[in-house]
C-alpha cells in the first residue's frame, strides 16, 4: 500500500506535540474539523506516546514524521503508525518500512534523490522543504523529468498556497502545520484547530468549483 493509506485526505497535518496528555484533545479537534489525519513528528521525547494515544482512538489515520533511523521506524510501528514520513531519504528507513509493510514517504529535493527513491522501489515521495526548495515550479520541473513520481510537498505551505499545489496532477497531498500551529497546541485552542481544518475543506471546494466553472464544456 502507498498513498491510499491517507484514505483520500489530501492535507496531512504535521504535528509537533510534547505532551501526550493533550493528544486526545488534538485528535478530537482534527476529527471535528473533518481532517482525521496526523503525522506525529519524532522531534520530541513524547512522540511515540502522542502517536499511540492518537492511534488508539481509532478514528484517525496516524503516521510518524521526522523518522530518520530504522529504530524509530520500529518505535513508530509499535505505537500504531500506519505510515512513515522522513525529511530526507535514508535507505535504512525505507527498507525497514518495506519489511514491515508500512507506506513510507521520504523527503527529496533533487533529481538525484528521486532516482535513489526509485531505486528503492518507491513512487511517492515528499518534497521537502517545499517552499524553500522552489515550491510549485520545482514540482513542475521535477515531475516533467519523472512523470511516474507522485509528490507530497511539505514545508512552508499555507492555507493560501495549498490549493495551487493540490491542483498539480503530480501532487497527491500536501503536509503542513498551519492548522496545528505550535501556538494553538500550546494554548489548547482546539476550536481554532478545528476551524482551520474545516476552512481548508471550504477553500479546496471553492477552488475546485472555480476550476469546474472555468473548464471548457
Ligand X SMILES: O=C[C@H](O)COP(=O)(O)O
Task: Report the catalytic residues.
Answer: 39, 126
- Tell me the Ramachandran region of residue 206: left when phi exceeds 0, alpha when psi lies from -120 to 50, beta otherwise: alpha
Residue 105 binds what, of ligand CC(=O)C(=O)O, ligand X, none (CB under 5 to 8 Å, by partner type)? none
Residue 85 binds what, of ligand X, ligand CC(=O)C(=O)O, none (CB under 5 to 8 Å, by partner type)? ligand CC(=O)C(=O)O
For the chain, list the strands marked E by DSSP: 11-15, 37-41, 61-65, 84-86, 104-108, 124-127, 150-153, 174-176
Integer CA distances (angstroms), 33 to 8, 125, 194, 195, in order: 15, 26, 4, 6
* Contact status: 109 vs ligand X (CB under 6 A): no
Residue 33-72 contact track with ligand CC(=O)C(=O)O, rule CB under 6 A, x = bound: --------x-----------------------xx------
Instruction: Assess contact for 193 and 30: CB atoms under 8 A.
Output: yes
Residue 177 binds what, of ligand X, ligand CC(=O)C(=O)O, none (CB under 5 to 8 Å, by partner type)? ligand X
Helix, strand, or coil (residue 127): strand
Instruction: Assess contact for 73 and 96: CB atoms under 8 A.
Output: yes
* Contact status: 154 vs ligand X (CB under 6 A): yes
Residue 176 binds what, of ligand X, ligand CC(=O)C(=O)O, none (CB under 5 to 8 Å, by partner type)? ligand X
* Contact status: 153 vs ligand X (CB under 6 A): no
* Minimum separation from the CB atom of position 216 to ligand CC(=O)C(=O)O (A): 37
DSSP state of 171: B
Amino acid at each position: 500500500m502507498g498513498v491510499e493509506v491517507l484514505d483520500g485526505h489530501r492535507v496531512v497535518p504535521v504535528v509537533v506535540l510534547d505532551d501526550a496528555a493533550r493528544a486526545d484533545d488534538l485528535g478530537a479537534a482534527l476529527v471535528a474539523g473533518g481532517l482525521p489525519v496526523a503525522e506525529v513528528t519524532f522531534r520530541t521525547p513524547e512522540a511515540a506516546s502522542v502517536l499511540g494515544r492518537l492511534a488508539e482512538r481509532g478514528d484517525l489515520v496516524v503516521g510518524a514524521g521526522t523518522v530518520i533511523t530504522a529504530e524509530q521506524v520500529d518505535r513508530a510501528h509499535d505505537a500504531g503508525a500506519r505510515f512513515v514520513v522522513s525529511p530526507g531519504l535514508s535507505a535504512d528507513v525505507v527498507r525497514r518500512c518495506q519489511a514491515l509493510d508500512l507506506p513510507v514517504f521520504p523527503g527529496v529535493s533533487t533529481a538525484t534523490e528521486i532516482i535513489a527513491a526509485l531505486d528503492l522501489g518507491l513512487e511517492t515521495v515528499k518534497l521537502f522543504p517545499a517552499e524553500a526548495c522552489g515550491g510549485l515550479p520545482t514540482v513542475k520541473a521535477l515531475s516533467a523529468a519523472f512523470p511516474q513520481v507522485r509528490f507530497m510537498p511539505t514545508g512552508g505551505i499555507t492555507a493560501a498556497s495549498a490549493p495551487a499545489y493540490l491542483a498539480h496532477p503530480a501532487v497527491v497531498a500536501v503536509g503542513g502545520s498551519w492548522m496545528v500551529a505550535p501556538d494553538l497546541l500550546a494554548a489548547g485552542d482546539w476550536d481554532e484547530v478545528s476551524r482551520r481544518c474545516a476552512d481548508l475543506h471550504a477553500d479546496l471546494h471553492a477552488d475546485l468549483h472555480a476550476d469546474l466553472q472555468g473548464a471548457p464544456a
